[in-house]
């Protein structure tokens, strides 16, 4: 039977990732920027807890999304001004709502790392108009095929973010259409507990950042409010020959526009049910990279819009470095070169390289009694 042992941190974290790995400056700047965004995001959640913001409207999510993108983009653009950036937001809504713009600006302007030297390394907007320009830098880019392109998702998992459970801060660096670097901040993840789900929230520490460098492996670092703490290399997942008693990852909050009989995948493979519940797609990639979950099948309706690039860039790099294979439901590699949406792909399958073809066979078999899905496989 395959090994389901979770890859856990050592008792004493080792030194930082090997300096021979590429993108050393990029990793430093972005990991610090992700920690700064965590401060902003948790500040927004504290406003909700105190009753200063209402969950009933969109204001907490808007504040977090706009503020986080402004801080991420300014940090990246200041250090790498010639690189393109693809982000989820543009600033149109802020320019149309002066009160919201002021709230976002106050949040951005008051959010700093506790370590002064680390904060000095990061660019930041100096006015409300500059803040909007930084947000627009991410919201107006569509080219992901050529050169250096950063892909960011400031708050991945907005529903669970608002609920105080798992969310992610995601940054990927693509070079000529391939994600060469993935950095995912996980403020609510408790790696020591060996779980990543909406029911397992960190009660100690500030979460973890998981970083993958293509061809050089992954490492994880405990998050802080200041400088970077020592990192721990993450081992590759143990090789598997079966998914008997394996952990299947699924999202119980994403019921719309999906294959209705998803448990069939797990049943045919002998995997555990119920599935481990994770809403954020990036947190799913992290759980797989750490061997907290063993496989994921995402099967949206064939008529559903294609996924956004920021839900997968970076995460793909990290799980492939962990020993997984990622394709769509047809077995086609994920194409990240087509801009903001993955227009060439339908759904995805993430699993051990040795088991991936078997899962595709199970998916095809499960689709046989659902004509819409069977036809879409071709």
In the annotation, is 65 catalytic?
yes
Query: Is 52:106 a contact under the CB 8 Å cutoff?
Result: no
Tokens of 152: 């960011």
Cα separation values, 333 from 77, 314, 329, 362, Å: 30, 15, 10, 18
Query: Is 151:177 a contact under the CB 8 Å cutoff?
Result: no
Query: Is 249:295 a contact under the CB 8 Å cutoff?
Result: yes
Cα separation values, 320 from 218, 288, 323, Å: 10, 10, 5
Catalytic residue among 65, 136, 264, 352: 65
Which residue(s) pair with 150 in the sheet?
Answer: 85, 173
CA neighbor of 16 nearest in space, from 209, 228, 214: 228
pLDDT of residue 161: 92
Contacts 24+ apart (CB under 8 A), 102-110: 102/128, 103/59, 103/63, 104/62, 104/63, 104/66, 104/67, 104/70, 104/131, 105/131, 107/40, 107/43, 107/44, 107/63, 107/67, 108/40, 108/67, 108/70, 108/71
Strand, coil or helix: what is 171? strand
SS3 string, 265-317, reads HHHHHCCEEEEEECCCHHHHHHHHHCCCCCEEEECECCCCCCCEHHHCCCHHH
pLDDT of residue 190: 84
342 vs 186: CA distance, rounded Å: 24
pLDDT digits (tens, 9 = 90+) for 72-127: 999 999 999 999 999 999 999 999 999 999 999 999 999 999 999 999 999 999 99
Residue ranges of the binding site for Mg(2+)? 88, 153, 155-156, 311
pLDDT of residue 205: 83
Same fold yes or no, 24-234 and 247-377: no
CA neighbor of 261 nearest in space, from 373, 126, 113, 109: 373
Catalytic residue among 7, 141, 158, 327: 158
267 vs 9: CA distance, rounded Å: 31
- Looking at 2.130.10.10, 3.90.320.10, 3.30.540.10, 1.10.460.10, the CATH number of the domain 24-234 comes to 3.30.540.10
pLDDT of residue 15: 41
Q: Sign (positive/negative) of CA torsion 355, 361, 365, 366?
A: positive
Q: What is the CATH number of domain 247-377?
A: 3.40.190.80
pLDDT of residue 55: 55
For the chain, the domains span 24-234, 247-377
pLDDT digits (tens, 9 = 90+) for 341-353: 999 999 999 999 9
Tokens of 67: 């503020």
Q: Which parts of the chain register pLDDT below 70? A: 1-19, 50-58, 195, 254-257
């Amino acid at each position: 039977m395959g090994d389901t042992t979770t890859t856990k941190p050592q008792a004493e974290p080792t030194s930082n990732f090997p300096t021979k790995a590429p993108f050393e400056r990029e990793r430093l700047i972005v990991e610090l920027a992700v920690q700064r965004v965590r401060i902003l995001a948790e500040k927004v959640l504290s406003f909700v807890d105190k009753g200063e913001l209402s969950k009933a409207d969109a204001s907490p999510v808007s504040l977090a999304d706009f503020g986080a993108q402004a801080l991420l983009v300014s940090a990246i653009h200041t250090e790498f001004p010639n690189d393109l950036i693809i982000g989820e937001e543009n600033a149109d809504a802020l320019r149309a709502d002066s009160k919201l713009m002021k709230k976002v600006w106050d949040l951005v302007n008051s959010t700093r790392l506790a370590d002064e030297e680390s904060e000095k390394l990061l660019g930041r907007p100096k006015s409300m108009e500059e803040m909007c320009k930084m947000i627009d830098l991410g919201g107006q880019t569509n080219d992901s095929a050529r050169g250096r392109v950063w892909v960011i998702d400031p708050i991945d998992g907005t529903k669970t973010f608002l609920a105080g459970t798992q969310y992610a801060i995601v940054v990927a660096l693509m070079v000529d259409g391939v994600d060469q670097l993935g950095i995912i901040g996980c403020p609510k993840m408790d790696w020591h507990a060996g779980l990543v789900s909406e029911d397992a929230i960190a009660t100690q520490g500030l979460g973890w950042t998981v970083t993958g460098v293509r061809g050089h492996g992954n490492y994880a670092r405990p998050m802080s409010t200041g400088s970077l703490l020592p990192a721990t290399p993450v081992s590759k997942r143990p090789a598997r020959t079966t998914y008997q008693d394996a952990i299947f990852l699924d999202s119980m909050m994403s019921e719309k526009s999906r294959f209705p009989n998803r448990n069939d995948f797990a049943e045919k493979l002998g995997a555990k049910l119920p599935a481990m519940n994770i809403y954020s797609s990036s947190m799913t990639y992290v759980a797989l990279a750490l061997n907290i979950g063993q496989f994921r099948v995402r099967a949206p309706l064939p008529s559903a819009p294609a996924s956004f690039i920021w839900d997968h860039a970076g995460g793909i790099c990290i799980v492939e470095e962990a020993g997984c294979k990622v394709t769509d439901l047809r077995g086609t590699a994920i194409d990240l070169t087509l801009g903001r949406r993955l227009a060439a792909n339908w759904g995805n399958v993430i699993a051990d390289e040795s088991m991936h073809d078997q899962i595709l066979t199970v998916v095809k078999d499960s689709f046989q009694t659902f004509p819409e899905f069977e036809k879409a496989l071709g």
